[in-house]
Every structure is written in structure tokens, then in C-alpha cells.
A and B are shown apart, each in its own frame.
Chain A
Amino acid sequence: MYKTDYKNNYLSEDKQSTSLVIGGEAGHGIQTVETLLTRIFKLGGLNVFATKEYMSRVRGGSNSTQIRVSSKKVLAPVKRIDILIPLDKSALPHLKDRINKNTIILGEKEKVSPEQEILDVPFSRVAEEIGNLIFANIVAVGIIAAIFKIKQQIPLGCIKKYFSAKGEKITQGNIAAIKRGYELASDLIKKGSLAQLSIPVPDFSQDIQEEILLNGAEAVSLGAISGGCNFISAYPMSPSTGVLIFLSQHAEEFNIIAEQAEDEISAINLALGAWYAGARGMVTTSGGGFALMEEGVSLAGMLELPIVIHLAQRSGPATGLPTRTEQGDLELALYSGHGEFPRIIYAPGGIQDLFYLTQQAFNLADKFQIPVFVLTDQYLMDSYYNTMEFKLTKMDIERYTRKTKKNYKRYQLNKNGISDRGIPGWGEGLVLVDSDEHDEHGRITEDLSLRTRMVDKRLRKLKAINENTISPELAGNKEYEVLIVSWGSTYYIIKEALGNLNDHKISFLHFKQVYPLPSETEEYLKKAKKVIVVENNATSQFSKLLKLYTGIEVEHKILKYNGLPFFVDELIGKLEKVI
């Protein structure tokens, strides 16, 4: 069983981290800058956390990426911007609410046409001198790396790796851009313009260099492979597509069948067919796509077939804000599919959780022959940070299928409700599964007393499922007066806020498994004088679930549903008002 065992130090006061934001329209290279800078910082021995917000369009609009660079780990976004690099005119108006008097803006006056004072740096002119305007962003990367005192060979190494496929000319141009960036930074420091910045430069750390740097979609995908996933079928839908892409790109080396389905209905039926045939299948989707999969969830319930569903939430209803975040589909997952049958819903809090819980989802889906959800969101999918390397030794792929004997009965009634799951073509028996109510052989029946026994059989699994829940994690003092409660992606945001509040009477309880609720939930809530639930939705769906299973009504709710995750600094303010 997976237990949280990673202990990170969190900043109690945010003096050792810098919030760097790059803003600009889609298609103008923010992504490249993000990919390069995060890698450069990490290889330079600094902790990085990056998250982005973007519009649902291929070109234009105004998007931004925040990179927090720190000595101690910070794994959450802040509203505050310390250094801003606007790549075009749209960036400054788009981010104006987050710029303060201490924000340093590095940009091209001519291109950005700012209303406020900015440090004019001629990225484009330098790029043209090198030979092409496309090198402008890389000049900016060079300047930033230099400000953080990163050894020049690190960005040069990254550039070679990143651009090698694009040919010698492009690589050489980008190398020159990095070098000019370093020169520019040095000139600016000499002139005094940058010396005044007094950016806190944290100590470099060897451990960080050895950590891995990846985003949420990659963590889910690697978790899936480690859990024995060898089949994925999905219809592309933001923000869930990253998992389909990753597994497709590694299909050959890991014996994975990856198929883009004609629709989500097909996707889940394909995955169920795969499990029936002996594979370990998953689907990845978001709210609207998942709505189409619901009859398939119900089918899994009736056939007692395992299925792993990665549901990456985004703002709804309907098309909503397609590229933004929300925790609005907890109830959708919980009640999805007609009829009554057991399920498990995980809500990973960060990249380690995404890996280990996705891996576990495959084992428990197989063990209990039920749908297991990995409930994530856009914020988690698109966030990058450095973290401990995943350990493979701990995890074995647990297999529960058996070779069948001659008189095999797929739905043999037994004590715990879990019948042996045979695979067609493997053994002497025949494997019959039926979406109609069925007898022990798997053939259609309208024997109503057998119907009752079959329903009881399916629900009987809940006992074993309840014995395998993942306990909520308590951060802070065991003796508390105020308990902040959350689930899923808000984990590190609240944890950092808690550190900043620095009040021993306040603790934080985080749920990685939201259904079935762990049995100790009630006890934790009862102990608190005040419970505050923090959720990225409008109706506090988790509070409703807590009320349903513990009878405890949560009075204080901090909710955000504008499409963005909570910012640590913003959340601190909101918590202070309630506490």
C-alpha cells in the first residue's frame, strides 16, 4: 500500500523564493522559455516550481507562466510577481493586478509599450545582430540565468540538447543568444541597473540536481506504466491529453496499445474490452468527455471489470473554460453511472501522489474489479517541479487474474464478493460477462432472488475496499483548534499558507482518497473547534460529502472558481479572515 513518506521543508516565510513570470501571446515561445528555464534552474541546483495559465486558443491571446525559484522547496503559485518578462503588448495589461511596486519588469520598451517604468533590454535588437529575431526569447533566458548566477555551461548544455533536432544553425544561434544574454546581464549589473535588484540567490544544492523535473501529466503517465498499464484509449480533451500523448510516444518501448478513439464512449468501451482480454487499460478525459463515458462506468460496475479513469477537471459546466482549472467534478465522478456499485476515487495532491496513486489505481482496480478514478485538474497537469526520483523497487504489479478450469464461473458467489477473474483464451474455462443481470456463469437472468444476491455480492466488496483506504494526511500539530480541510491539488498551496501562518493551533488535513472516505475522518473533524474547507469550486462539494458520511456540517468554506488555482498569498489573506 502506498503511504506518504516524502517530507519536504517548506518555507515558513517567503524570503528565499523569487516569483518569475513570463507573459505573452500563444505561439510566441513562452513554452520554450518555461521548459528551458525550469531545467536550467534545476540543473543549477535551485528548486523550481512552474505553473501556467493560458487561453483556449492556438495563437494570440495572453498567457503566462510563473516560475518560482527557491532554496527551500515551494510547490505552489503566488499572486506576487518579483520579476516579470513581458514578451509582447498584451502581457502587462493581462497581469496588471499582480504587479506591485517592487516588481522588476525586464522587457523591450518599444515592443511592450509600458505605462510603468521598465528595465529596457533590447532582446530583439540583439537577436537580429545574431542573425534572426527568433533568438530573442533565448537572449532573455540567458539574462535570467545570469541574474541567478547559474554557470553558463548549464544553459549552453540545455540549449544543445533542446535544439539539436533543429539543426546546427539554429543551435549555434541560440548558443550565441545565451552568451549575449550573459553579457547583457553583466553590463546591466556594471551599470548599476541590475545591482539594485537585490534578488535573493539561494544556495545551490547537489540533491536538487539529482531530483527529477516533470509535470503532472508525465507523473500520471509514468505511474500508469509502473502499474502495468498496457492499453490507453482516449479522445483528446484539455487538460487530460498530455497522458495520451506521453503513453503514445512511449507505446513501443513499453508494449502499450494506444488508440485515439472516435469519441469518449468508444474510448471507455475499448478500455473495458482490453481489461476483459487481459490487458490493463485506462482512459484519460475531462468533464464533458467523462460525461459521455458514464454508461461505460456503469458497465464496469455490472461486468465487474476493472478500469482506471484519469479525470482531469477543468472549469464547467459544458465547455466552460477549457484550459483552466476547477475541482468541480467530484460529485460527477462519485455519482457517475446508473445503478449501484462500488468504486474508489483518488485525489492526488502533487507529483509524488500522481505517480504512486495512479500506479496503485491499477492494482486496486484489478484486485476489486471496480472502476478506480484518479481525479486531477488542469493546475496539477500543467505544473512542473523538481521532486524525488520515483522508486520502482517498492512497487510490484499485483496481478489477480487466474487461469480458468473447465467449469469456471465468472460470477461465483462467495464471501467477499470478489470472484476469480478469468481471461478468454487462458485456461480451459469460458469467460462470459453480461451487462444484463446475470447468473454465476454470466448469462442473462430475471431470477429476482438471484438478482438480489448479485447486487449484494457486488456491494460486499465495499468491506475490503474500506479496509484499503488511504488515510488523510495531517500537517501541523496533532492537537489543534482550527482544522483546514482539503482534497486533491490544493495540497501544497495550503501547506505553504499554513507554514506562513505559523500558528500551532492550526493544522491541515488533506485527503488523497475522497471516496470511500477513510474511517478516521469523523474523528479528525470532531476534534476541531473550527473546520475550514478549502476547495476550487463554487458549491463546496467535499463539504457535502463530509456531511453525508460524518454528519458534520462545515461552517467555513473558502472557495475559488474563476478558473485559477489559489495563490498562496491570496489564500493566507482569506484564511486570516476566517481564523
Chain B
Amino acid sequence: MLNLFDPEDKNIDLAWCPGCGNFGILQALKRTLTELEIKPESLVLVSGIGQAAKTPQYFKTNMFNGLHGRALPVATAVKVCNPELTIIAEGGDGDMYGEGGNHFLHAIRRNPNLTNIVHNNMVYGLTKGQASPTSRKGFKTPVQVKGVFQEPFSPLAVAIALNASFVARAFIGDLKQTIEILKEAIRHKGYALVDIFQPCVTFNKVSTFRWFKEKTYYLKEHDPYDRLAAFEQAVQTEKLPLGIFYKHPGKETFEEGIKAYEVDKRPIIERISDRQRLAQLIKAKR
């Protein structure tokens, strides 16, 4: 089926392995955006580096494919300079939680109105199979020879601890629910984290499609406005809940907190600074 966000070049060479969870996420995101009636011209996809971060390459829209780990600062700046654009920052678990870990923390604190999609397959793909921050204990790789022994990074628990405005997890094995979660995340005003479980068919022989299928379930009778309950769900490690863990609507966004937007709501890029005022400021130095 043709999608508004499909690139014109039909021969685009996708860099993913057959069966990769990225295909599903690509499709889910395109369908979400179409259903939300977002225009390619008013959307910017910002990504870092990694197999997941290649997703914007296969879109017809504005793209900023920057450096490893650095999608969030770029995405934050694009949003604050032009709040009229829809912004999605996308990447993998190594990109967002490892190399970009500090930016992840501070993007949540700033709360720009954007969606942060993290493809979480618990392994490094592009560098060929090393552990990622979310790899589970005991996971063996050519580098973690005896298996990972560090505590895995828990993105949802960290985000809830930081009082993020929207925290959710999806599994790409369920396209329909993933689209629903993405829709709500993009519609949400404020920073929205969607951590998406995906299998890596080449490098993660532990957390396979079947493994995710068996481990995950959807949150039921969960109050997403209850932060402590959300945290409790986020720290589960045996069974892994999916769905919207936490919502904190009404939190001031980064853009709203910027003085230049207090009175004048036009994007700053459309304004010209006041030359007369500048002349006065210079004169005041007399």
C-alpha cells in the first residue's frame, strides 16, 4: 500500500536484515503519521547513528540524521526554534541510552514537545553484536565473553523517576497496538518516550520474537496518572508490561518556558531583532 511518507525512489536499498523489527517500526510510524494527518513538509525526523537511526532515510519528509547519541539536543533545538513543526527523535537503545544517555536525562527534564522513539533490541546491530545498555544479565557477546554482569538500564523507570510527561512501551510484534501507542505519544503535548521492543534476528539469539511474545503483556487496570504505580510496573524484569505507563499532562514544555515565546508566539525564526533597542543598549554603555 502506498503511503504519503514513502520516498519517491522505489529502489531505495534498505540496510536491514530480513525479518528485522525495524521494518515493522518503519511501517507503524508511517501509518501513525498518515492517520494523524501530519504532512511530510511539517514533520522533522531527527536521528543519531545505528541501524534504527537509519529509519528516517526510508521516509519522504524532513530529516536530520546527525551523530551517534545526539538526536535529542538537535530535536529539542528544532522544536524550540519552530514549535509549529512535528518532531520525532528516533534511534536505538545504544544510541539513545548509551552514547546519548546524558541527553536522554536532560531532554526529559527540558520537556520539549516531541516524541522520542527508541528501537530496543537489547543489542548493538551496526557494530555487530556487542551488548547494549539494555542487554540482560548473562547475555554473551564477542566482547561480553562471560556474559553481561552489569545491571541493565531501565529507560522507563528512569523516565518516570524524572517525571517525564509521557512514558510508554510497545512491542513491534503487535503492529496495531504499537500504532495506537505512537498516536497517543505524538498527540501528547510534551516529551513522550516510546520504547519499542524489537527482535534483532542476527545478533540477539536470546531476546527473539518468541521471547518477547512470551515475556510481554499489556497493562490492565493501570492508572497512568499514578507515578508510583507506573514506577512499580517499569521495574518489572520477569514479565515485561506494555502500554502507556505514565502520563503527566499539563506540564510546561520547553518552548513554553522560553521567554521569547511569552508574549509573541510566532517561531523566533520569523522575527527580526529590534535594531533600535540594540542601539539603545549600546548607548547605555556610555
Contact = CB atoms under 8 A, between A and B. Distances in A.
B73 interface: yes
Interface in A175-215: 209-214
Given A211-B286, A257-B80, A269 B63 contact: no
Nearest to B278: A225
Residue among B77, B105, B106 with max Cβ neighbours from chain A (10 Å) = B77
A392 B82 contact: no
Interface string B38-63: 00111010100100001001001111
A279 B269 CA distance: 5
Interface in A231-258: 231, 233, 250-257
A226 B275 CA distance: 8
Contacts of A210: 286
Interface string A384-428: 000001101000010000000000000000000000000111001
Interface stretch (B194-202, B206-214, B254-262): B254-262
B134 to A, nearest CB: 21
B165 interface: no
A255 B271 contact: yes
B81 interface: yes
Nearest to B285: A212
B273 A230 contact: yes
Contact of A252 (B82, B262, B272, B286): B262
B105 A262 contact: yes
A428 B41 contact: yes
B40 A430 contact: yes
A94 to B, nearest CB: 31
A213 B282 contact: no
B70 interface: yes
A81 interface: no
A262 B274 contact: no
Contact of A231 (B40, B77, B102): B77
Given A273-B74, A424-B44, A299 B282 contact: no
A231 B81 contact: yes
A402 B64 CA distance: 18
A276 B78 contact: yes
Contacts of B106: 261-262, 266
B82 A425 contact: yes
Contact of B281 (A222, A279, A432, A434): A222
A143 interface: no
B274 A253 contact: yes
A262 B107 CA distance: 9
A430 B61 contact: yes
A288 interface: no
B227 interface: no
B220 interface: no
Contacts of B274: 253-254
A578 interface: no
A425 B269 CA distance: 11
B160 to A, nearest CB: 20
A214 B285 contact: yes
A576 B168 CA distance: 73
Interface string B136-148: 0000000000000
Interface string B245-286: 000000000000011101010011101111101110111011
Residue among A218, A228, A270, A271 with max Cβ neighbours from chain B (10 Å) = A270
Given A255-B264, A257-B258, A277-B85, A233 B62 contact: no
Interface stretch (A6-14, A62-70, A436-444): A436-444
Nearest to B80: A257
Contact of A269 (B67, B267, B269, B279): B67
Contacts of B282: 212, 222, 389-390, 392
A436 B178 CA distance: 29
A257 B272 CA distance: 13
A424 B43 CA distance: 8
B285 A218 contact: yes
A423 B283 CA distance: 35
B188 interface: no
Given A213-B285, A266-B103, A273 B67 contact: no
A553 interface: no
Contacts of A278: 81-82, 267, 269
B185 interface: no
Contacts of B40: 430
A263 interface: yes
B19 interface: no
Nearest to A262: B106
Contact of A273 (B49, B81, B269): B81
A303 B78 CA distance: 15
Residue among B67, B271, B283 with max Cβ neighbours from chain A (10 Å) = B67
Nearest to A434: B65
A211 B285 CA distance: 8
Nearest to B284: A212
Residue among A228, A233, A273, A281 with max Cβ neighbours from chain B (10 Å) = A273
A251 B57 CA distance: 36
A435 interface: yes
Nearest to A280: B269
Interface string A275-287: 0111101000000
A520 to B, nearest CB: 33
Contacts of A267: 73
A222 B282 CA distance: 8
Contacts of B82: 277-278, 424-425
A77 interface: no
A274 B77 contact: yes
Nearest to A265: B70
A254 B61 CA distance: 32
A431 interface: yes
Nearest to B263: A252
Nearest to A281: B77
A575 to B, nearest CB: 34
Contact of B73 (A269, A425, A443): A269
A296 interface: yes
Interface of B: 7, 12, 40-42, 44, 46, 49, 54, 57, 60-67, 70, 73-78, 80-82, 84-85, 102-103, 105-106, 258-260, 262, 264, 267-269, 271-275, 277-279, 281-283, 285-286
13 contacts: A213-B285, A253-B274, A254-B273, A255-B271, A255-B273, A261-B106, A262-B103, A279-B81, A279-B268, A295-B67, A389-B282, A430-B60, A442-B63
